[in-house]
Structures are given as structure tokens and as C-alpha cells.
Structure 1
Amino acid sequence: MTKQAIILAIDTATSACSVAIRVNGVTYERFEVGSNVHSKVLLAMVQSVLQEAQLSVAELDAVAVSQGPGSFTGLRIGVGVAQGIAYGCGCPMIGVSSLETLAWQAAVDGLVIAGIDARMGEIYWCQFLVEDGSVSQLGNAKVSAPADIALSSDALLVGNAWLEYAELLSLTESDGLNVLKGVELPRASASLDFAQAQYLAHKTVAAADFAPIYVRDNVAKKAKSQI
């Protein structure tokens, strides 16, 4: 049996801040939602889960962190802390899609469309096929206006964007939105299986080379034009 790597997972892509680690089949997690909480609670969360799991930073095999898309500030905070930990213990990093994490949380076979409120009247979204405990990404993550996203009622929707923009979405069926309740924000614990597979496949990144993937890189320009 393959020895499981000890991976610390961090997700700060949305208003949720979460940290998780799994040791001997037991998952330890901290999760908090709030405005601008990441810089205040993230380090304490890391220390708390490590203490509960009776681990030191030096025992980590890798650090997995949400690479985006999501809040620019949140992503920078999460990636910065993850890089600091990885530098400190000399371990590699694993990039995780915040949208794929939501698809993992769905835990239901079929077509899943994950969407996160991107602010400025737009949605970060991507389609996934969930099948037999695996998640496959279908195409690239996008940022779109709600009216430009055509949704079919046979797709399961996860994430906080769909109900937020329900009246503006373009539906291909008249049955309404098939939204999975309780899966609005990504949780670090849901990325642990993916991170484990990436680590075993040697798909890791050195801390010095790691960077967020913003999807929308002109946010500052757009914000300025709306003032």
C-alpha cells in the first residue's frame, strides 16, 4: 500500500478561509467565513490543525493551496502563507483550482458546473465531469457575465454564484436552477484527495515558482473605469 503523503491544504479564494490536513485517515480542518478574515485567522488556523494532528511544519511533505480563480487579495494571502511554509520546511507546493474543489464537494456523478461570484457582475465558472470518485475538468475556467452562460437543467450547479445571479442567467431549460445546497464555498479538506494524487504523480511546484492563476487579470483597470 502506498504511503500517504502529509499535505497541508489551504483555501482562501473566497470569503471562506480554511485549512485542512489528513493523518492516518483522520482529517483535521478549520473553516471560517467572513469579510477580510484571511489575514487575521489563517496563521492561527495552520497552527491549530498542526497542533491537533500532533505534527510539526518540518513533517509536511507538501503544501497545497488554492491557485484561483477567486478574490485577488484572498489568493495573495493564501499563496503567500503557503510559500512561507514551503520555504521553511523545504517541501514542494501543489496548486489547486477553487472551482475543482467545489466539484469535489459535489460528490455526485454527472455534469457539474462550479461557479464563484467574481464581483463586478461576473462569474468565475468551469464545467466538470464527476464519475466514480474522480473529477475531470471540461475546458478552461472562464469569467463571464451571467447572461453569457448557457445552463442546462441536467447540470448540477455548485458554488455561490448561481443563486446570486439567478435572475440574469440564461437557461436552456425552463425547469430552473439545479443548485446543490450546502456547497457554496470551497473547503480545503475537499482538495486533499486531489492534492494527494498530484503529489504521488510528482506534479508539484517549487515554492519559488508558484503563482496564483487569476483568470481575470484586468480587475484594477475595470474597477478604475467604474469609479
Structure 2
Amino acid sequence: MKILAIETATEACSAALLIDGAISLRYQVQPRMHSQLILPMMEELLNEAGIGLSALDAIAFGRGPGAFTGVRIAVGVAQGAAFAADLPVVPVSTLAALAQRGYREFGFRQLLPAYDARMQEVYWGGYVVDGQGLVRSVFDEEVSTPESVTLPDGLNWQGVGAGWDSYRSVLEARLGNAFSGCEPGLFCSAEDVALLGAALFNEGESVAAEQALPVYLRDKVAAKPKQVNQ
């Protein structure tokens, strides 16, 4: 299997190339530079491997939630590359990819990834690690105030991501005894987008390039008052 993955939804910009289980990575924490960095990163990886886009099975991308501009960059680049090479794309949750990195680097098996969504809110999800070493969601990802995030069942939950840097005290109080610690310095990486993208591809979760859509989560929140008033 050959999958090229890109991730631009947070402060870190990265691209990864997965070939038969081996992953090569380009990764830089350079806010507001993603549009200049991502295409050269992709080109470097392909040239290093001696292959072109047409040799890939799919392109995976971090589809959000995250910074609006960063998510749009990932969608646009993934679509452009997929159209050029007639490839399917695999949308991967950036919260899931962040959780996957928490497991990959720290061995956490019950993870609560959080990004700062601004407006005193967080993007929030809950994941556990399955028998294949991949994270699986235990409740729907959401955007909410730190005081009202969905609580997971059980104990020993670890937080990951910058949302914990912004709202640790509130989130810790909300979780109570379920909280076991956090790593707020983690950003999403294309390496984990590639790992999850490969699994989703094998499960038949790829889509055509024109169906590569962003997930902002806040769109759903904005729509709720309209639905209530109808």
C-alpha cells in the first residue's frame, strides 16, 4: 500500500508517505506558513521514494476540526493532487490523528484530544486504542465550552493537544477522578493521518476527490437555532 498523507489543521504542517508499512515524514511547526510548506514537503517525499502521484493508492488528509484556513488548505491540496492523478482520498479526523499520536509516542490508551476552538470553546473527542493499535472513537467529536464537554466512562483518561494548554484547569475539574494527566504540547502529525488513513482505506472509507470535504463542527452549532425556530 502507498498512501501520501497531509496535515495542516494546527500549528504544525506535515506530510507523510506510507509505503508497505514504512513511513517517511516531513514536519515543521510554522504557523501561517502551511500553504508555502506543504507542496514542497509532498514533492520531497515522492522524489525521495522515486515515485509519482500516479503510483499511490490514495491521498489521506486531516479533514478537521481545526483552524479554518489550515483545514481548507489540506482539502484543497488533497483534491488538487487527487484530481491530477485520478486517486481516491481518505478524510481523517484531526482529533483522531492527535489521539493516535498520543498513543504512538506515550502509550496512552484512553485519550481525550482537544484543540482550542477560540470563542472560549474546544474541539473535543474521546478515543480508545483497539487490538490493532489504532484509536477508535467512543463518542462523537464536538465543539463546546470546556465546562460542558462530553465526559467519558471510566477512569485513567489522558488529555492531548493544545486545548489542554488553554483550558487545563477547567477540563480537569470537569473530568474529576477520570483525569489521569495530559500532554498539551502535542500537535497533529501526518504520520498518524497516514496510519489511520491506511486503515480507513482498507475498510472502504475512501471517497472521490470532489467529496473531500472539511469538517468544522461549528457549522452544526450555528445551524441549531435555525432548526429550533422552524
Among 148, 159, 171, the residue aligned to 2:174: 171
The Cα shift of 1:53 comes to: 1.6
The Cα shift of 1:219 comes to: 9.5
Distance across 2 between alignment mates of 1:214 and 1:20: 23
Equivalent residues, number:
216
The Cα shift of 1:198 comes to: 1.6
Distance across 1 between alignment mates of 2:178 and 2:130: 24
The Cα shift of 1:147 comes to: 2.0
Note the residue ranges of structure 1 that are not aligned, 5 or more in a row. Answer: 221-227
Contact 1:28–1:53 (Cα < 8 Å) also in 2: no
**What pairs with 1:77-92 in structure 2 (closer than 5 Å)?**
77-92=73-88
* TM norm structure 1: 0.86
> What is the aligned partner in structure 1 of residue 46 from structure 2?
50
Among 7, 12, 20, the residue aligned to 1:11: 7
The Cα shift of 1:150 comes to: 6.5
Distance across 2 between alignment mates of 1:138 and 1:24: 29
How has the CA–CA distance of structure 1 residues 155 and 176 changed in structure 2, closer, same or farther, with 3 Å as cutoff? closer
Distance across 1 between alignment mates of 2:99 and 2:86: 30
More helix by share: 2
Note the residue ranges of structure 2 that are not aligned, 5 or more in a row. Answer: 223-230
AA aligned to 2:147 is A
1:187 paired with 2:183, answer no
Distance across 2 between alignment mates of 1:200 and 1:146: 35
> What is the aligned partner in structure 2 of residue 210 from structure 1?
212
| Cα deviations by residue, 1:167-213 (Å, 9 ceiling, x for unpaired) | 3333343797600365x110000122221122222221100122111
SS of equivalent to 1:179? strand
* TM norm structure 2: 0.85
Compute the RMSD of aligned alpha carbons: 2.3
1:65 paired with 2:61, answer yes
| Cα deviations by residue, 1:77-116 (Å, 9 ceiling, x for unpaired) | 1110110000000010000000000111122353211111
Contact 2:7–2:62 (Cα < 8 Å) also in 1: yes
**What pairs with 1:136-155 in structure 2 (closer than 5 Å)?**
136-149=136-149, 154-155=156-157
Distance across 1 between alignment mates of 2:205 and 2:114: 25
Distance across 2 between alignment mates of 1:149 and 1:25: 35
How has the CA–CA distance of structure 1 residues 26 and 147 changed in structure 2, closer, same or farther, with 3 Å as cutoff? same
Question: Sequence identity of aligned pairs in percent?
Answer: 36
> What is the aligned partner in structure 2 of residue 223 from structure 1?
none
